[in-house]
Structure 1
């Protein structure tokens, strides 16, 4: 379990990452609490970008903003292709994906997260099988 100071630092980290994603117009941002599911990290953020260029920009913006705030980035993956980029900031892992990739891997379900609600009564707007 995290103590109060660690929780505050983690929340600051999450807030910075979410703001960085919102600054570059990420879509469908969700934050998952992974405490008790893994000892590797405590929070996971999943977001979508509309193009490979945007996915790369989103991941880069998260890395830059977290570094500027004094947090350590352990690694970044996927910026080459831009279909799925990951930023590992120790207690926080950020996944940024193209909608079709996000739909295919459905990591929200793997980690037991709730599906984000989109349009009342509608499925995910990026469902790849609809094309």
Structure 2
């Protein structure tokens, strides 16, 4: 006999994993497929869209797409369904939106052109000549 509490429990979705677990899964996925130049950017307080961005490079369009697919696969192991995946057709820049973490996998020339790391870290470092007389 099934109780009402058991029925309700089976209908509720699992709570999202802690952000540290999600970041760990993302890093595991990009490292598994040997992504290059992996950077994690904490954008809490700078963006209302997400808390962290992970930026990585692939060596070819096929590599970029494979890395993004692996990110999705690793996230699903944590019961995290991507909110969206964009750019898979051209695979020069694939964005995987996992809610608290957004992953950007890019070809090096595209990454250099858009310079996301500089965009999101401006003002984080003290000026180079601060305090020099």
- Report the TM range for the smaller structure's normalisation: 0.7 to 0.9
Q: Tell me, yes or no, if structure 1 residue 17 matches structure 2 residue 35.
A: no
**Aligned residue-pair number:** 108
Shift, 1:68, TM fit: 1.6
Once the two structures are superposed, the pairs formed by residues 1-131 of structure 1 within 5 Å of their partners are 9-112=18-121
Q: Higher Cα Rg: structure 1 or 2?
A: 2
User: What residue ranges of structure 2 are gaps of 5+ in the alignment?
Assistant: 1-15, 125-133
Contact 1:72 1:90 in 2 (8 A): no
Aligned-residue RMSD, C-alpha: 1.5
Shift, 1:72, TM fit: 2.4
Deviating runs (4+, > 2 A) in structure 1? Answer: none
Distance 2:81 2:23 in 1: 13
Shift, 1:69, TM fit: 1.2
Shift, 1:20, TM fit: 0.3
Provide the TM-score with structure 1 as the length reference. 0.79
